[in-house]
Structures are given as structure tokens and as C-alpha cells.
Structure 1
Amino acid sequence: MSSGITRWSIPMVVATMLMTVGTVAAAGSDNRALDLYMDTETKQIFAEPGPGRVRLGRFRPMTDEDDRARDVADGQSGEATVAAEPGDSALELTDESGEFSMAPGGRLHAQYSYQDDDLTRNGQPVDAASGTEIRRARFNMSGDLGEDFEYLTEFDFAGNDIAITDVFLVYTAFDPLEITVGHQKHAISMELQESSNDIMFTERSLLNAMTDTLFDRAIGINAKGSGRDWSAQIGLYGDSAAPNDRDQEADEGYGLGSRLTYALVNDTGRVLHLGAYAGLREPADSGRVNNESPAFNIDTTNHSNVALTDTGPIDAIDRATIAGLELAAVAGPWSLQGEYARVGVSRENGLPSLDFIGYYLQMGWVLTGESRRYKGSDGEFKRLQPRHAFSPDDGYWGAWEVALRFDQHDLTDRDVIGGEQSRASLALNWYMNDYVRVMLDYNRILDVEDSPQRDTGGGQPDGLNIYTLRTQFAF
């Protein structure tokens, strides 16, 4: 970064760069860097040096190829570059050579959740927590490290704690193959790969009880090839960067993930997506799976601390595998997405193997006519962008979307009684502009079997009602 930047406070620099976005974009669509200068008295921005002007630094124009910044900022191990597509932050700092760059990004998900409280467990009342929380508060920096290297560092500050989400390096010289090394998501599941900024519901489906438990983020290496309509990737991973049990001197476990996607149709407003994935995970010597207790469960909300289905810790796990299929489609304002997956758990000490299944099917309708955006080279949906940003003075109200989802999983097999549940979810999403979204979800528990929770009459907790309201911004 040039010495001129250091003469101004960070807020001044950020404000200055916001003022110069239009100037930079107008400089052309190539990758030639542009030096910018500020007049110390008028605070105007100039492209040439002169008396009383301070050099701010070198800024690089955005190009048509630079549509991958959100994917990096969302924690994907796919195409990684520092730039912007419509709706992304166009802020970028580069050194004089143009080979090093960095761009900020982030998200804040603030929400309120409420659910029925009339539950008991082992005869004792269960208080399902309702209230407000910061679900996610993430900040990231991404950019270039020379000609063929790109990076992302992202941390989450939700809960007044600091956690690593994504920290990785991408090598891109072997086009169309790219190699990603670091803390990243496994190459598993369309829903898991999609950013929390982009999914239609505040939380992922019941399938997440299996995919997230085994195959969320971990330290590893991933190889990915892709084209406009397809993606293929495979990765080898250790355990996650979460606090672990190193004091027990136990070797960590490892995992494999692979995913293949192809879009039979991939046009604006018209998509037909097919996908398949498979993965494997072996626990650490301590028996932990990806630094977590080997249990399959999912809370009714992130805030509630109540799970209607829960296997509890599964002992003597030798290996866990997963296989899944994906289907998605877009027809104008209508969209469809679904997955089915099966998890197999083999155990030691002569214990029988286990099989768990899960699936979801969801449909969306954009009332204002926009289409969900799909990226074939990642095989996933991106955040919907309103045709007109919210502006009552101009008669624009952003984009409105209604979504319906049905999901189910079965976590009971042999001697493990984790329970089975099905659920219906209804969502109303208001996209105020490319950065801000308001979400309202209603979830109805339709049927539960073998749940560790009971209603006040001693029966299964069928008919539970759950509400979530979220305000989100992401850039």
C-alpha cells in the first residue's frame, strides 16, 4: 500500500474509495491500475498529480471476469478473485505493482427467534430459549498474492467470541484447475456449499444435521475444475480449526469430499441443475469427528438449545460415509431445489452399522419477477438481486420472495434412537437492495417420532411452532 494512504485515517480512506468507485470503473474494463490523488483543501479526487494533492494509492478497474469476489467472501473454495459483480463491494487496494491487493467484505445477521415452550424431558420442564442474537458477524479480507495466488481470511465475531471460518490460499495457474489449501468447506452438498447470505431460509434444512456434523469446514487441500456449466472437485481434509483435544496427544481424524455438478440448461432465468456428492470421514484417535462429539442432532433454532431429534454421542465409530443427489431448476421467478442423502456409520467392537437418511425440497417464487441467480462453475445459487432498490420516493420497493420447504430426516437405526421428524417452512424475504435483506420464517413441526423431548401431556412434540425474524446485510 502506498505511503499516501498512511497519512489519512481508515474512515477517510474508506469514504474516499466510495467516492471514487465511479471514476475507477470509468477508466476502462482492463486491469491497468489507476493512481488517484486527493486535493488536501477541496477533498476532490484527481487522476493526475498536482500542487496540494496527496497520492491515495493505486486502484484497479473492475472487469467482466471479476465476478467472483462474493464467492470468496462467502467462504467457498471455488473461484477466488478480488473484484465485484453487481451488489458486491467494489473497494480494493493494490500496491504499485498491482500484484498484491486486498478487498474487505463482511456480513451481519441479527435476528429474533421464538418457539412454543410447552416441552418436557425426563419429566422436567424444558425452556426453549427465545430472544435476540447476533447469528453471524463476520469480516473478511481477500485479494491477490502475486500473479497466480489468491487468498481469503474470514473471522466470525458472533457471541462476543472470535472463530475462524475461512482462511485459505488458492493457486490458479492450472486453468481451469485451481488448488485451495487451508481452512475451508468440504466439497459436499449444494445447500452446505451455498452461503448463508444467499439461502432462501434463515437456517439450512434438516439434512444439515448430517452434512454439517461430518463435513463442514476443516483444514485441507481441495482441487477443483470448472466451466460455465459444470464443476468437479475433490478434497482431502484434516480436522477443523475449532478447539480440540490436543492435550490428549491424539492424532486427528481425516475426511474426503467430492462433488460433481452439471447444468443441462444454464441461461438467464432458465436453469436445470443436476449434482451428486460423496464423502468419507474417519474419527480421531479420541473418537471425535471433525473436532466435534460424534452425535447427529439439530436445534429447532440456533438460539433455542433444544433438539427434537438427537442421537447423542455414538461410541466406537470406525468410519462415516455420505452420498447424496441434487436437483435444482429455475423458470423465471420460480425456482426449485432439493437434495437426498444417506449417511452410513460403521462401528468397532462388533457393533452393527447404522444408516441415517435426510432430504429437503424447497420452492421459491419472486413476487416482483426477478430470477434466482445461478453460477454453473460453482453449481449453486447466489444472492437474489432486486431489479430496483428500495426507494419509496421513486416508487420502488425492492424484491419480494416467498419460499416453501418440506424437509425430513430419520436418525434412528438399530440400537441408536435419535428420532425422526418432518417439518414445513414458509419464508418471506424482502431484498431491499443488493446488500440488505429482511427475512421472516415460520416453521411448523409436522411429525416427530422417538424424540427425547415430550409435550406437557407426555406425547411427541408434534405441532410445534417456530418463528424467526432476521435483518441481514452483506457486502
Structure 2
Amino acid sequence: MNTGITWRSIRLMVAASLMTAGAAMAAGGDDGALDLYMDTETKQIFAEPGPGRVGLGRFRPVDEHAANDAEGEGGEATVAAEPGDSALELTDESGEFSMAPGGRLHAQYSYQDDDLTRNGPPVDAASGTDIRRARFNMSGNLGEDFEYLTEFDFAGNDIAITDVFLVYTGFDPLEITLGHQKHAISMELQESSNDIMFTERSLLNALTDTLFDRAIGINAKGSGRDWSAQIGLYGDSAAPNDRDQESDEGHGLGSRLTYAPINDVGRVLHLGAYGGVREPADSGRINNESPAFNADITNFSNVALTDTGPIDAIDRATIAGLELAAVAGPWSLQGEYAEVGVSRDNGLPSLDFSGYYLQMGWVLTGESRRYKGSDGEFKRLQPRHAFSPDDGHWGAWELALRFDEHDLSDRDVIGGEQSRASLALNWYMNDYVRLMLDYNRILDVEDSPLRDIEGGQPDDLNVFTFRTQFAF
């Protein structure tokens, strides 16, 4: 029978029902869940089955920490879906198994305005379009205390594993995560690419991502409304095409602490620190990647202004970093500083690299960036009103400014130094669709492996990126 309603309208009706069914929800079972039913004629929501009622599934209360994320105008908490949550969840009769689809598409155009050379021959730092990310995932529950996520990326007409892990939540407030996951390192690296204010992460990412992106391992995390603490042990990433099967893999450790002494809606102060260590595989590869630190001009060009090239005889690499972030109404501030130490065998001297970023955001339409203290990170901005010209609503608009710098030169390794300023304009059309325009100005480059067409350092380079993003 065609009821003429959508999953979105069902969710809105369920939200309204939950607002008035708190007591029944608390008594709905050991896990606080409640089975809900809809009358096919009146479209009313009921907590008990009856004639003419169809089951909607098993629902749980809003997480106790979600008030900061879901609070609306006037400072009163509202029942709202988390941006990026799937609108469809399949649950078995017991409510212990669930499966919800999700995904993202980042389609973008990149342009840079200068011709570059490397020791004479031209370098093809091309402009053009690409699919930066095309990911699909499934997540849900496997029994009362187990959660899972599987996600694959199809960008570049290839299939790559991003996240595949199992989470055990039975040791509250401790979570144990086993599988392919991000290291417990860096606020910026931990934040989803769906949620960051710029199309690409900062120049600090040349250090954090190279050493501490995703890998197979086990991570233990404790958290509360205003804090998080985690530590993990990891092998190498799931990259079988790059793995040297005749040598032992590398391994690493990552840890991160965060605390928000101020954590209210539109008012946040975040403090964080992290540290980690990685040892390469016997083949010399680090996390199944070349032992090199670099930063591409754009994802499309795949050309780097700063690049150490492969570093020989790495014995161990360590990182230590500090985080600071704040929110005051529509204004936000976020920054990190980190240093990497690389020790080497064969009598070669140790190396020290560093990087930082400082960024500021201003939401022109008045919304605040959403912060989740139990993760110690920002979530995607949620517009107060979705884009609807007929209703006079234009979504949310955000301006962001960032200054970042890194130094990849030390002793006998000359990877270069680079500083950059970035300006972003983001249009959040609704909870799922965002348009992004970035302008990057390369301010100063030293010891770059590239030169401009006149033979000088590639300073004053202009780079533009436009992205259409949807995520659910």
C-alpha cells in the first residue's frame, strides 16, 4: 500500500513522538529501546501494536552527550538527526542487529596558475577535474555491545579499504576498536573530510598522514562529555598491492588526550595533546608507503612543492603535537603544532621536521560549529534552515581563513620549507549537501625541488579548488 510518506517524514514523526514518550522509552527494555508503530490512516506514532498499525522498527533515546550537537535556537535541545546519519536503518526483530548505509561523494575542479620545472624539463602540475572521494559504507550493531563499520572508496576507478572495524562497548566508558582504522593522532587527522572547513587538510598533514593514517590495529578509548583519552597499537595499512610479503611489516603506537573545560552550545574551549611512534617494515616502507614526506599542490596535480624524497635507513619516527580550539557563537578558532623526529641506522644523523596550522572560521548566517567532546573534534556545520528559495531560506554560509607552514629540511635531507594562506567559502545547502570554494596562495618556498619557468623558487603560486560534496 502506498502511504504517501517518506523516510524523512517518518523520522520527523518519530522525533515528535520521542519528545513526549520519555517515560515509556526508559521502560522499553534493558537498553532503553522502544518498538514504535504507525497507524496507516492517521499517521500517528504508537508504542504498542494494534489494528492498522505497521512497525517502524526499534528506536533508542538520543545519546546523553548529543544535546550539545542537537541544541537549536533558544538554547533548548531538539531531537535531530546527525548530519551524515543514514535516513534508513534495517533492524531485526530483536533489535540487536542493525544495518545502515552511508556514503560520500567529493567531486572537484582544481586550477593552479604557474608553469613549473624540475632541473630543466617541465613538470605537469595540471589543472582539471577529479573524484576526490567516492565512498560507501555500512554500519550498525552486532548484538548489544558490538558496533561495526565497513567503508570502501571507489575514487580513481579503484577500490580501496578505508575503515573496516569492530567496536566493543561493554566496558563503559571504555571502547575497544579492532580493525582498519585511523591512528589516535591529531585533531585535524581525526576529523572527517566531510566536516573540515577546507577542501584539503593543512601542510601539517604531510607529517601526520604520512606516518599515522589508517592501519590495522587495536585502539582503547575512554571518554566523557568533555574529554577523551585513547591509545592504540597498529600494524601497517591494508594495502596488499604495495605490501612486501617477504619482509616483516612495520608497527606503531598512537595516543591522544583531549579536554574541553568549556563545552556548551556555541561556546567551546578545547585542549589536546598527542604522541606516537612508528617503525618501518623490513622493506623500509612506512605504513605501506614510501618513506618520504611531501605535500602535493593539489590532489589532481600530484606534484609537490616540498618533498624529502625517500629517506634511507629509517629506524624509527616519532611525533608529538599540541591542539587548541575554541568556539564563540559563529566564530571558531583551531590550531595544531607538531614535531617529528626520525632516527636512522648506518650512522646517519637523526632528522627533525615540524609543521603547524592556525585557522579561523566565521559563519555568516549565525550558526556555530558543532563540537563533540567525547571525540575531541568538530563535526559538520548544521544549517538552521535548509536551502529553499520559495521559503526565503539560503542554508548556511561560512568563511574560513588558514595559515599553515612546514619545514621538511634538516641535515642531509633537503625537502624544503613552505608557507601558505588559504581562504574558503562554504555553502551548506542542507545537512547533506555542501559546495566549497578554496583559494590558496603559496607565500614562501625555500629549497623546493621545483622551480618556476624563470628558474626561481615557486613563490606566489595561486591555487583554486571547487568541490561539490554530498554525504549521508
Shift of 1:23: 4.1
Matched, 1:163 2:160: yes
User: What corresponds to 1:387 in structure 2?
Assistant: 384
User: What corresponds to 1:20 in structure 2?
Assistant: 10
User: What corresponds to 1:4 in structure 2?
Assistant: none
Aligned counterparts, 1:1-80, within 5 A = 17-18=7-8, 20-28=10-18, 30=25, 31-34=33-36, 59-65=57-63
Structure 1 range deviating more: 244-253 or 435-444: 244-253
The letter of the residue matching 2:253 is L
Shift of 1:32: 1.3
Shift of 1:393: 1.1
CA distance in 1, matches of 2:433, 2:419: 31
1:214–1:281 contact (8 Å) kept in structure 2: yes
The letter of the residue matching 2:460 is G
Matched, 1:89 2:86: yes
SS in 2 for 1:209: helix
Unaligned runs of 5+ in 2: 26-32, 70-79
Aligned counterparts, 1:195-214, within 5 A = 195-214=192-211
Shift of 1:62: 4.9
Shift of 1:16: 5.7
User: What corresponds to 2:28 in structure 1?
Assistant: none
Post-superposition Cα deviations, 1:9-30, rounded to whole Å, max 9, x if no partner, equal xxx99x8644532344344353
SS in 2 for 1:350: coil
CA distance in 1, matches of 2:329, 2:6: 39
Shift of 1:86: 5.7
Cα distance change, pair 18–272 in 1 and its aligned pair in 2 (3 A)? closer
Matched, 1:184 2:186: no
Cα distance change, pair 421–130 in 1 and its aligned pair in 2 (3 A)? same
SS in 1 for 2:311: coil
Cα distance change, pair 227–46 in 1 and its aligned pair in 2 (3 A)? closer
The letter of the residue matching 1:106 is G
Shift of 1:46: 9.2
1:428 to 425, 428, 446: 425
User: What corresponds to 1:259 in structure 2?
Assistant: 256
CA distance in 1, matches of 2:465, 2:12: 38
1:21–1:91 contact (8 Å) kept in structure 2: no
Shift of 1:434: 1.0
Q: What CA RMSD, in Å, does the superposition of the two structures yield over aligned residues?
A: 2.5
CA distance in 1, matches of 2:256, 2:284: 26
CA distance in 1, matches of 2:265, 2:258: 18
CA distance in 2, matches of 1:160, 1:35: 43
Matched, 1:297 2:294: yes
CA distance in 2, matches of 1:84, 1:102: 17
Question: What fraction of aligned residue pairs are identical, expressed as a percent?
Answer: 83
1:409–1:420 contact (8 Å) kept in structure 2: yes
2:183–2:212 contact (8 Å) kept in structure 1: yes
**Under a length normalisation based on structure 1, what TM-score does the superposition of the two structures give?**
0.89
The letter of the residue matching 2:429 is M
SS in 1 for 2:15: helix
Aligned counterparts, 1:270-309, within 5 A = 270-309=267-306
User: What corresponds to 1:117 in structure 2?
Assistant: 114
Cα distance change, pair 289–298 in 1 and its aligned pair in 2 (3 A)? same
Structure 1 range deviating more: 25-34 or 443-452: 25-34
Post-superposition Cα deviations, 1:270-313, rounded to whole Å, max 9, x if no partner, equal 11111000000000011110000100001011101110000000
Cα distance change, pair 413–237 in 1 and its aligned pair in 2 (3 A)? same
Cα distance change, pair 252–244 in 1 and its aligned pair in 2 (3 A)? farther
The letter of the residue matching 2:35 is A
CA distance in 1, matches of 2:230, 2:469: 30
CA distance in 1, matches of 2:62, 2:116: 54
CA distance in 1, matches of 2:394, 2:245: 57
CA distance in 1, matches of 2:390, 2:406: 47
2:395–2:428 contact (8 Å) kept in structure 1: yes
CA distance in 1, matches of 2:471, 2:414: 40
CA distance in 2, matches of 1:20, 1:273: 36
The letter of the residue matching 1:252 is E
Post-superposition Cα deviations, 1:24-49, rounded to whole Å, max 9, x if no partner, equal 4344353212356989xxxx999757
Aligned counterparts, 1:340-351, within 5 A = 340-351=337-348
SS in 1 for 2:356: strand
CA distance in 2, matches of 1:387, 1:114: 32
CA distance in 2, matches of 1:84, 1:183: 27
Shift of 1:394: 1.1
Cα distance change, pair 262–299 in 1 and its aligned pair in 2 (3 A)? same
1:58–1:95 contact (8 Å) kept in structure 2: no
CA distance in 2, matches of 1:135, 1:86: 20
CA distance in 2, matches of 1:438, 1:86: 15
Shift of 1:328: 0.5
SS in 1 for 2:248: coil
User: What corresponds to 1:337 in structure 2?
Assistant: 334
CA distance in 1, matches of 2:293, 2:225: 36
CA distance in 1, matches of 2:130, 2:65: 32
CA distance in 1, matches of 2:322, 2:335: 8
SS in 2 for 1:223: strand
2:233–2:253 contact (8 Å) kept in structure 1: yes
Cα distance change, pair 132–62 in 1 and its aligned pair in 2 (3 A)? farther
1:24–1:59 contact (8 Å) kept in structure 2: no
2:224 to 227, 245, 254: 227
CA distance in 2, matches of 1:45, 1:159: 46
CA distance in 2, matches of 1:187, 1:264: 21
1:17–1:91 contact (8 Å) kept in structure 2: yes
Post-superposition Cα deviations, 1:326-371, rounded to whole Å, max 9, x if no partner, equal 0001111111100000000000000000000000000111111111
The letter of the residue matching 2:36 is L
SS in 2 for 1:172: strand
User: What corresponds to 1:371 in structure 2?
Assistant: 368
CA distance in 1, matches of 2:375, 2:457: 41
Cα distance change, pair 447–95 in 1 and its aligned pair in 2 (3 A)? same
CA distance in 2, matches of 1:337, 1:119: 33
1:324–1:341 contact (8 Å) kept in structure 2: yes
Structure 1 range deviating more: 387-396 or 180-189: 387-396
CA distance in 2, matches of 1:465, 1:345: 32
Shift of 1:238: 0.4
Shift of 1:387: 1.1
